Amino acid sequence: MFALFAPALIGGALIGLSASLFLLTHGKVAGISGLYGGLLQPAATGHAERVAFVAGLLVAGLVLLRVHPVAFATSERPTAAILVAGLLVGVGTRLGNGCTSGHGVCGISRFSVRSLVATVTFLGAGALTVLVTRHALGVLR
């Protein structure tokens, strides 16, 4: 039974460790939307650390693709739908003042009430979207 959950446990531990190390070494939350968004703002501070963090994510993905390609599932969804969904996620992170990694991993671990509310909202909206699109409307199967 443990083997079933081992990859998720290891991945979660690595995410927690990296977020903790980033907070300890840089004094900043390792929220992806904030780090990536700062790359698009020329006046943002910490440009080098943002580039290194995002580059590390890309390199890790490329390494995983090379050593374990089945980890990358394909989607039956049209590319346009995936692009629109990605843009909506980006808009949502701006409206929510952060993303699930920032609020869910880093904010809750710092006992932030705002992050707890944001994370519950993210999860609730996701569950409601699945309920409506898959079960009530019968689309996106």
Could you read off the pLDDT of 40-96 as tens digits, one per residue? 887 767 888 888 988 998 999 999 999 988 888 787 888 898 899 888 888 888 888
Q: Amino acid identity of 85?
A: A
User: Strand locations in 54-109, DSSP E?
Assistant: none
Instruction: Give the whole-angstrom CA distance, residue 52 versus residue 58.
Output: 10
Which residues neighbour 133 within 8 Å (Cβ) at sequence distance 6 or greater? 139, 140
Amino acid 3: pLDDT: 81
Angle CA 119–125–126, to nearest 5: 90
Specify the pTM: 0.70
Amino acid 141: pLDDT: 57
Sequence ranges of the domains in the chain: 77-141
Give kind and range of the element (H or E) at residue 122: helix 113-130
Angle CA 126–5–68, to nearest 5: 90
**CB distance 113 to 106 below 8 Å:** no
* Structure token pair of residue 127: 């569950």
